[in-house]
Each structure stands twice: as C-alpha cells, then as structure tokens.
Amino acid sequence: MRIAVASFQHETNTFSPRPTEYADYLQEDSWPGLLLGEDVCRVLAGLNIASEGFIQAARQQGHSIVPVNWCSAEPGGKVTDETFERIMQLVLDGIRQAGEIDALFLDLHGAMVSESYDDGEGEVVRRIRAAFGEQLPIVASLDFHANLSEAFVSQIDAMAVYRTYPHLDMADTGARCMALLEQQQAQQPLYKAFIQIPYLIPLSSQHTGSAPNVALFEALSELEATPGISNIEFAMGFPAADIPDSGASIAVFGNDRQQVEAVCRQFYDRVLAAEGQYTDNLMSTAQALDLSRSLQSNAPVVLADVQDNSGAGASSDTTGMLADLMAGGAQKTIVAVLADGAAAAAAHRAGAGAVIDLALGGQSGVAGLGPCEGRFEVMAVADGNFTCVGDMYAGCEVKIGPMALLKVVADTCDIQIIVSTERYACTDLAVYTHVGINPLEYALLVVKSTVHFRAAFEPISDHILSVAAPGLHPCQLGKLKYQKLRSHVRLGPCGPVHMSATDPA
C-alpha cells in the first residue's frame, strides 16, 4: 500500500483561559514543532511517537509512506478558529498533494476542542471524508485521554488507543495501527460497537499501574482474544474538557457483529463494577509533609502537584504548594518546574551566586493565588535545551527557554525551585542534571505533573504522594460546574450526578 501519514494533536483544557494559537504548534518543547513532508520521518526517527511507530511498521511490511505533516501543541485552552482552519487546510492540501494513496494514517490526540468544534477530531475526519470520500481507509492512533465521540468512531475504519499511563506505548500504538489496517483490509465486513462510561475518571486516578486499572486492562486483553474480535479500545478520557463527550469510553471492532456487541457490553460491565474501587488519593500539602516525615525513607519522597500540570493544560506557575511548603518548614526540597520567564531572565541577569528579590510565579489567574514574593539566591542558570533520557521521552530534545535554579532565602526552610521560561511538565530526570544537581540528594521532589512523571521517578522513589493544591487542571471533579457535559454522568467515580441545565427535573 501507499499510505499517507498526517497529524493534528491537542489536549484541550476548556477550564484554561489560555487560548492555543498557531505559534504553539511551531514551539519546540518536549516534542518537535510543526513538521512537514520528509522532516516527519527524519525528525521523529527513533522517538516514542505514534507516527514513528506506524512508519517503521509499515516499511517493515513493504508499504510506502507519504509523510504529510506532524504537529502537536502543549495542552492548554481551546484551539482558536484561525489555528484550527490553518492546520486543517495544511492537512487537506498535503493529502491532496500526496497523489494516489491506498490508505491514510492519522496521529491524533482525541481531546481537541476548538472555539467552534467541541469534537475537534470528529471534525477533522469529517472534512477529510468530505474531500476524499468514504472509501479511503483511515486508521487513527489516539491518546489514552481521548474523549471519543460516536461521530468520530463511525467515520474511521480502524483505531488504536494508548494502553499505558504514563504513555510508554505511543510508538507501539502506531505500530498496532499498521497491523489493524492490514487486518481490516483482509477481513470484511467490519463491525463496531461504541459506548460511553457514565462516570468521569480524574487523571490522578488513571495511572495504569494502580488498581483497578491493572485488572481492567488484563480483562481487556482476555476479551480481545474472543473469536471475531479485532481489537478493544478503552480511552479513559480527559475530564478537564466541558463538552458533551467528555469522559471514558469503549470501542470494539471485529467481523462478527454479535460478538462485537456482546464483548463491548461485557467490558462495559467490568468498568462499571470497578467504579467503587477507585479511591481519591489526594491530600493537602500539610498532610503530605507530615506523612513524608513519618516515612523515614532513604530515597526521595515525591510530592506531585497534580492540578498544576502543564501536560494537562495548567499554567505550571501556581505558588500555593510552594507557600505551604515554606510555611511547613520543608527541608531538602526541590520544586520542578515552575514557569516564569521574567524570573528566569532576572536570574540570568544577576548570575549564579546573586541574591534577588522576586514576585515568583502566580500569573495564571487562579482565584486568590498570586506570586510568591521573597528573596531568592541564584544557585545556577541554564539555557533550557536538554535531551530526555527516560523511557517515555528518550531522545526528545526539550527547548523551554532560559532556566534558573533558585533557593528560598529563609532560615525556616530549605527549598529550591527550578524555573523555566516556557511551561514544562516535570517528566524526565534530565531537567535536574541540566541545572547541575542530583535529585537523589534531596528528601522531597515536588513535581508539577499528574502521572507521567512516574515513568522516571518510580525507580528512584519508594513513596509518591499526590497533592491537591490550586491549579487549572482540576482533579476534584465534583467541585466543577460543567455546562455542556451530557446529563446523568457522575463527576468522578461514585461522585455526584451531573444534570444538564436543559434537562427536565
């Protein structure tokens, strides 16, 4: 086959006031900026990215690849209409210029919301179908946090969703898409079943190494071996999106209609039965500090600032947890990574060894939470360009602008903060070595991340504590005021039932 490869990714946090612009797609952060043509194959080579996995698997099977584009922007607020239309046109023009193709692979996220489209991916595929017809085979890879819609599932021929969080299997998912495409071409007819889960799962409970998710994916693998079933896809959703289709869902594919529908119902029942097994493991900073002191661990204890995760659209500059750590007299503590370009610039001007007064962070607009004003010693400065070494992002070149390592000047605490210019979720240990320090020398590693950090941090820590400090990535879903979410969905496992304002009492 001659297969075109295209991409349009975004994880949209509709509770974030920061719009996602075209420039965000050009920005090189943990992943490359917008790629076109042969640069897709060249730049993504060897990286844990779905497009790379698909390309390598396709070539191994003797297929020809026509790279159109690859693009992803750091999670944030809604994609502006101008940005959506510009990238959509780029994708359509690229597919058209590819000439005669036998299939199309789409590297998508699944939780994109634009100013005009709540179901961004559904609109992407709708426009491709309108331009190139219903007969073109389309296979898509999707993020674990995809908010799938029936409209999207009905328009594609095959799809695969990441099965790990942290996402260690992104490239593997792309390769799985290639196998599903070949299988779909060889086995007709194709049947699909799709169902949405009636409760939302916060990202802080979606770790696939924890209960009940371990058992759920074991059940998925067992059911997937059923004769007549091609694949089962379970997306846990991205609940920081106030849209009708927000939340977890199941899609089942196969050539036996009866089995497809039966297996979908069986796995749905497993997910419903697991609802009561989810636990809210969030605690306050004070509780986390007290617990960490009682653990007497020889390895660092990790405190995750789960609601200020830029990887879920947050600002990565909130200071609530920092203030609590200072008030609690935290010792041998390092916070990573707080985004404040002005502070980083001031540290670079002053140089290592200088003591400067700063109003650090707190520009995100989180209600009642401003900067942390104080005196800081500049311990080190760096350019913000480093290469990841962990399993998830190995080989990815990070470019987040000038960075600094600051130390709070106070007798009552021992706290350092890694500051960056651009947002960066703390997911790789290279961020520490980049500013010249060894994370193993600290008692507390405070990370602005929800789950992705676990891939790199679990091997160096015996204890991970999730902390609910103020931030723009909500994990306590029962507190949210959804406006567009469909009715009768529980806001968190066993949480309150959401009713639409237009729903009859």
DSSP 439-472: GGG-SEEEES-SSTTHHHHGGG-SEEEEE--S-S
* Secondary structure class of 301 (helix, strand, coil): strand
138-142 and 333-339: which strand pairing? unpaired
Within 10 A of 496 (CB to CB), how many other CB atoms are there? 11
Please give the C-alpha separations between residue 19 and each of 16, 77, 162, 366, in angstroms, as whole numbers.
8, 5, 26, 16
The secondary structure of residue 498, as a DSSP letter, is E
Contact 99, 135 (CB under 8 A): no
Instruction: Output the pTM of the full model.
Output: 0.96
Instruction: Give pLDDT tens digits for 201-230.
Output: 999 999 999 999 999 999 999 999 999 999
* Cβ atoms of 270 and 456 closer than 8 Å: no
Which residues, listed in sequence order, are joined to residue 233 by a DSSP beta bridge? 251
End-to-end CA distance of the chain: 54
Q: What is the pLDDT of residue 114?
A: 98
Q: Say if residues 379 and 407 touch (Cβ distance below 8 Å).
A: yes
Q: Which residues of the chain are modeled with pLDDT < 50?
A: none
Based on the number of CB atoms within 10 Å of its own CB, is 128 exposed (0-12), middle (13-18) or buried (19 or more)?
buried
Q: Which two tokens mark 46? A: 């060897």
Structural domains of the chain in order of their starting residue, each with its CATH number: 1-186 (3.40.50.2300), 188-280+476-505 (3.30.1370.10), 282-473 (no CATH)
Q: Which residues of 340-355 are buried (b: 16+ CB within 10 A; e: fewer)?
A: bbebbebbbebeeeee
409 token code pair: 């000047």
Q: How far is CA 266 from CA 32, 62, 194, 302, in A?
A: 40, 37, 12, 37
- Tokens representing 207 are 């770790």
The Cα 487–Cα 133 span in angstroms is 34
Task: Provide the 8-state DSSP code for 99.
Answer: -
- DSSP collapsed to 3 states, 9-66: ECEECCCCCCCECHHHHHCCCCCCCCEECCHHHHHHCCCCCHHHHHHHHHHHCCCEEE
pLDDT for residue 115: 98
Measured CA to CA in angstroms, residue 156 lies from 87, 258, 379, 457, 495 at distances of: 20, 20, 53, 37, 33
Instruction: Name residues whose C-beta falls within 8 Å of residue 291's C-beta, 6 or more positions apart in sequence.
Output: 283, 465
- E strands, 332-485, where? 333-339, 355-360, 372-382, 385-387, 397-399, 403-408, 415-420, 444-447, 463-467
- Decide if 159 contacts 141 (C-beta within 8 A): yes
- The separation between CA 414 and the C-alpha centre of its own chain, rounded to angstroms, equals 31
> Can you list the positions of beta strands (E) in 154-202?
158-161, 191-196
Check residue 44 and give its pLDDT: 97
